[in-house]
Chains A and B, each alone.
Chain A
Amino acid sequence: GAGVSQSPSNKVTEKGKDVELRCDPISGHTALYWYRQRLGQGLEFLIYFQGNSAPDKSGLPSDRFSAERTGESVSTLTIQRTQQEDSAVYLCASSLASGRAEDTQYFGPGTRLTVL
Chain B
Amino acid sequence: SAVISQKPSRDICQRGTSLTIQCQVDSQVTMMFWYRQQPGQSLTLIATANQGSEATYESGFVIDKFPISRPNLTFSTLTVSNMSPEDSSIYLCSVEGAAVYNEQFFGPGTRLTVL
Partners in one complex: no
A residues sitting closer than 8 Å to B (CB atoms) are none
